[in-house]
Amino acid sequence: MDLDPDDVFRDEDEDPENDFFQGKEASKEFVVYLIDASPKMFSSTCSSEEDKQESHFHIAVRCIAQSLKAHIINRSNDEIAICFFNTREKKNLQDLSGVYVLNVPEREYIDRPTARLIKDFDLIEESFDKDIGSQNGIVSDSRENSLYSALWVAQALLRKGSSKTADKRIFLFTNEDDPFGSMRISVKEDMTRTTLQRAKDAQDLGISIELLPLSQPDKLFNIALFYKDLIGLNSNELTEFMPSVGQKLEDMKDQLKKRVLAKRIAKRITFMICDGLSIELNGYALLRPAIPGSITWLDSTTNLPVKVERSYICTDTGAIMQDPIQWIQPYKNQNVMFNEGELSQLKRIISTGHLRLLGFKPLSCLKDYHNMKPSTFLYPCDKEVIGSTRAFIALHRSMIQLERFAVAFYGGTTPPRMVALVAQDEIESDGGQVEPPGMNMIYLPYANDIRDIEELHSTPGVAAPRPSDDQLKKTSALIRRLELKDFSVCQFANPALQRHYAILQAIALDEHELHETKDETLPDEEGMKRSGVVKAIEEFKQSVYGDDSDEGSDSGPKEKSKKRKAGDASDGNYDFIELAKSGKLKDLTVVELKTYLTANNLPLSGKKEVLINRILTHIGK
Annotated catalytic sites, by residue? 24
Give me the torsion for CA of 395, 400, 402, 406, rounded to 10°: 50
b (16+ CB within 10 A) / e for 485-521: eeeeeeeebbeebbebbbebbeeeeeeeeebebeeee
Residue 555 and residue 23: Cα distance in Å, rounded? 59
User: Which residues does 368 contact at the CB level (< 8 Å), separation at least 6?
Assistant: none
Residue 281 and residue 270: Cα distance in Å, rounded? 6
Segment holding 70, helix H or strand E: helix 56-74
- The answer to whether 29 and 78 are in contact (CB under 8 A) is yes
For the chain, helix, strand, coil in percent to 5 are 40, 20, 40
Helix axes 238-253, 56-74, angle to 10 degrees: 70
3-class secondary-structure state, position 351: coil
User: Which residues does 249 contact at the CB level (< 8 Å), separation at least 6?
Assistant: 59, 63, 212
b (16+ CB within 10 A) / e for 77-112: ebbbbbbbbbbeebbbeeebbbbbbbbbeeeeebee
Segment holding 444, helix H or strand E: none
Q: C-alpha distances in angstroms, 4 versus 8, 283, 320, 400, 423?
A: 7, 20, 63, 15, 16
Residue 406 and residue 292: Cα distance in Å, rounded? 37
Q: Give the DSSP letter of residue 440.
A: E
- The answer to whether 543 and 471 are in contact (CB under 8 A) is yes
The Cβ-side half-sphere exposure at 302, using a 13 Å CA radius, reads 6
- Dihedral sign from CA coordinates of 397, 402, 404, 408: negative
Residue 91 and residue 236: Cα distance in Å, rounded? 39
In one-letter notation, the amino acid at residue 25 is: E
Sequential DSSP letters for 563-608 = HHHHHH-EETTEEHHHHHHHT-GGGS-HHHHHHHHHHTT----S-H
Sequential DSSP letters for 237-295 = GHHHHHHHHHHHHHHHHT----PPPP----EEEEEEEETTEEEEEEEE-------PPPP
Q: Which strands make up the sheet holding 207-213, listed edge to edge?
A: 99-101, 79-85, 28-36, 166-174, 207-213
